[in-house]
Chain A
Amino acid sequence: MVIEIKDLNKGFGDNKVLINFDLNLYKGESVAVLGKSGSGKSVLIKCIVGLMQADSGSIKVFGKDMIGLNAEELDQARVRIGFLFQSNALYDSMTVRENLEFPLRRHWIEKTPEEVEAMIKEALTNVGLPDTIDMMPSELSGGMRKRISIARTLILKPDIILYDEPTTGLDPITAKGISQLMVDVQKKYNTSSLIISHDLNCIKITADKLVMLIDGKNYAQGTYEEMKENKDKKVKEFFEI
Chain B
Amino acid sequence: MINKPALIRFLEEAGDITRFTLRFFRELFHGRFEFNELLRQSFFIGYKSLGLVGLTAFIMGLVITIQSRPTLVEFGAEAWLPKMVSISLIREIVPVITALICAGKIGSGIGAELGSMRVTEQIDAMEVSGTNPMKYLVVTRVVAAVLTIPLLALLADAIALYGGYLGCNIHGAVSWRLFWNQVFETNTYSDVIPAITKTFFFGFAVGIIGCYKGYNSRKGTEGVGRSANQAVVIASLLIFILDLIAVQIADVLGLT
Interface size class of A (residues with CB under 8 A): 20 to 34
Q: Judge if B3 is at the interface, Cβ distance under 8 Å.
A: no
Q: Which residue of B lies closest to A83 (CB)?
A: B128
Alpha-carbon separation in the docked complex, A85 to B121 (Å): 8
Q: How far is the CB of B50 from chain A (nearest CB, A)?
A: 21
1/0 per residue, CB under 8 A from A, across B110-137: the answer is 0001000100111011111111100000
| CB of B70 to closest CB in A, whole Å | 51
B122 close to A89 (CB less than 8 A): yes
Whose C-beta in chain A lies nearest to the C-beta of B127?
Answer: A51
Question: A188 within 8 Å of B by Cβ?
Answer: no
Of the residues B117, B122, B125, B131, contact of A105 by C-beta under 8 Å: B131
| Contact pick for A79, options B113, B117, B130, B132, CB 8 Å | B130
Indicate if A28 sits at the interface (CB-CB under 8 A): no
Residues of A within 8 A of B126 (CB): 91, 102
CB distance from B112 to the nearest CB of A (A): 12
Contacts of B127 in A (CB 8 A): 51
- The answer to whether A102 and B129 have CB atoms under 8 Å apart is yes
Bound: A84/B92 CA distance, A = 51
Taken residue by residue from 127 to 167, chain B's Cβ proximity to chain A (1 for < 8 Å, 0 otherwise) reads as: 11111100000000000000000000000000000000000
The CA of A51 and the CA of B125, in the complex, are separated in Å by: 9
Q: A103 vs B131: C-alpha distance in the bound complex, in angstroms?
A: 8
Residue of B nearest to A90 (CB): B122
Do residues A106 and B121 form an inter-chain contact, with CB atoms below 8 A?
no
Q: Which residue in chain B gives the minimum CB-CB distance to A72?
A: B31
- Distance between A196 CB and nearest chain B CB, rounded to angstroms: 15
- Interface pair A89/B124, CB less than 8 Å apart: yes
Interchain nearest-CB distance for A142 vs B (Å): 13
B120 touches A87 (CB 8 A): yes
A92/B131 in contact, CB under 8 A: no
Please tell me if the beta carbons of A102 and B131 are within 8 angstroms of each other in the complex: yes
A78 within 8 A of B: yes
> In the complex, what residues of B have CB within 8 A of residue A85's CB?
121, 124-125
Tell whether, in the assembled complex, residue A91 and residue B125 are in contact, meaning their CB atoms are under 8 Å apart: yes
Report the minimal beta-carbon distance from B138 to chain A, rounded to whole angstroms.
Answer: 14
Interface flag for A3 (CB, 8 Å): no
What CA separation (Å) do A103 and B126 show in the bound complex? 8
- Residue on A nearest B27 in the bound complex, by CB: A71
For A81-105 the 0/1 string (1 means CB < 8 A from B) is 1010101011111000000001101
**Contact B129 A103, beta carbon cutoff 8 Å:** yes
A18 lies within 8 A of chain B by Cβ = no
**Interface readout for A194-213 with B: 1 if CB under 8 Å, 0 if not?**
00000000000000000000
Asked whether any CB of chain B lies closer than 8 Å to the CB of A226, the reply is no
Q: Which residue of chain B has its CB nearest to the CB of A86? A: B121
Question: What residues of B have a CB within 8 angstroms of the CB of A83 in the complex?
Answer: 125, 128-129
A93 to B125, CA, bound (A): 14
> Which A-chain residue is minimally distant from B31 (CB atoms)?
A72
Query: Which residues of B have CB within 8 Å of A117?
Result: none
Q: Which A residues have a C-beta under 8 Å from some C-beta of B?
A: 46, 49, 51, 71, 75, 78-79, 81, 83, 85, 87, 89-93, 102-103, 105-106
Sample 11 A-B pairs with CB under 8 A, ordered by A number: A78-B130, A85-B121, A89-B122, A89-B124, A90-B122, A91-B125, A93-B113, A102-B129, A103-B129, A105-B129, A106-B131
Extra inter-chain contacts (18) besides given A81-B128, A89-B122, A92-B120, CB under 8 Å = A46-B124, A49-B128, A71-B132, A75-B132, A78-B129, A78-B130, A83-B125, A83-B128, A83-B129, A87-B120, A87-B121, A89-B120, A90-B122, A93-B113, A102-B126, A102-B129, A106-B129, A106-B130
Closest 4 pairs (CB-CB, A-B): A89-B125, A89-B121, A103-B129, A106-B130
